[in-house]
Chain A
Amino acid sequence: MITHIWFTFSSDEMYHLKKLVIRMYWDGEATPSVEAPIGDFFGLGLGEYFNFESLPLSAAPNHGVNAFFPMPFQKHARITIENAGKMKLDALYYNIDYQSYAKPLPADTLYFHAQYRQASPAKGLAGDWKDNGDPLQNDRKNLTGEENYVWMEATGRGHFVGVTMSVLQNQDYWWGEGDDMFFVDGAKLPSINGTGSEDYFLGAYDFGGKPFSYALYGAPVVGEEKAGSRSSVYRFHLDSPIPFTKSFKATIEHGHANGRSDNFFSVAYWYQAEPHAQFPALPPVEDRLPRLHSVGGPGNAVK
């Protein structure tokens, strides 16, 4: 069982955290259970370094990243790093700590999974809306979550344990009016439905514009509420993993009732029995880089 991973990278290439890809394969499986740009996997979803501390993930000076998620395997684990950048990676130092047991792990031991998703941009309300309070935005309804930003989808038996997410705003005002919605075992309506993005990440009221970083939740980067601003948030359900027996979908609205068109980048973390459902294809490297898009709406930085 892997108990801890530490990496540090040395590269002059901009956004190398988005260009290096980490993959993990357990016990000879053909497709990876973990696939994500390496920065995103460690909670650095905008291609830039910042320091934060949570129980399962942390980033420390100077460019050290850590994962403490337990990652069990019976006989074989394979971890790969792909450099999809244009420049040579000058250095990749790592420590992977694991425990070897005299007896096999219990047969029902669940495997660690992590899946990257992005919407750059999310497809929100077109047209000339003024602010989040505009009736064009505020009167929208979203009962089923069909157009939500999807953090992950899984089939099989397991439990969801959290997400890291970063946002690059294309539009002015608060990006986080969207509610979290979780769909357990094929439910058509949300099995769990939250009250707002900052509420799901366990702060409140726009985080007051202040960054914070705690054991199970945080917003270590909180930008101004305007186009071009960046935010990074995380939430881990270590106290209350969300179990599923057949399928699971974790989502969040992009703005109230999916009315906004900001850029979202995320990694969701869960445990499940194999086999896992096929992951969506990783977007091409150029599409993974955070950049502003012409989407209309207030303050759109690109016309």
Chain B
Amino acid sequence: MRMLQRSVQVLLFTLLSGAALVGQSREWLNSLTEPHDYVQKRVSSLTVRVEMTISGRSPQEKRLQLWTRRDPE
């Protein structure tokens, strides 16, 4: 019985996630013909200094510098 319940759960998840993906895909495709009024931006490791704060560490350890490179390649 438990096996059957598990199988039904997996099947339902597969169907629902598949339907969600199809719905998202259709939404993406349909919106392509409409004008968009925004500016697309990107931050990347190439151009932006990224720092992370890690809780529970000593002050010296809290700031972890992940990337400092600023020269565009």
Contact = CB atoms under 8 A, between A and B. Distances in A.
Nearest to A273: B35
A240 B40 contact: yes
A273 B34 CA distance: 10
Interface stretch (B1-9, B10-18, B42-50, B54-62): B42-50
A143 B32 contact: no
B34 A110 contact: yes
Given A256-B73, A257-B73, A193 B36 contact: no
B40 A192 contact: yes
Nearest to A144: B72
Nearest to A241: B36
Interface in A105-160: 105-106, 108-110, 112, 141-143, 157-159
A62 B38 CA distance: 41
A271 B46 contact: no
Contacts, number: 81
B67 to A, nearest CB: 10
A179 B47 CA distance: 13
Interface residues of A, number: 38
A243 B36 contact: yes
A238 interface: yes
Nearest to A160: B40
Contact of B33 (A110, A238, A242, A243): A110
A161 interface: yes
A203 interface: no
Contacts of A194: 42, 44, 46
24 contacts: A55-B28, A55-B29, A56-B29, A70-B29, A70-B33, A106-B34, A110-B34, A110-B35, A112-B33, A142-B72, A142-B73, A159-B32, A159-B36, A184-B39, A184-B40, A190-B72, A193-B44, A195-B44, A238-B32, A240-B40, A241-B32, A241-B36, A243-B39, A271-B33
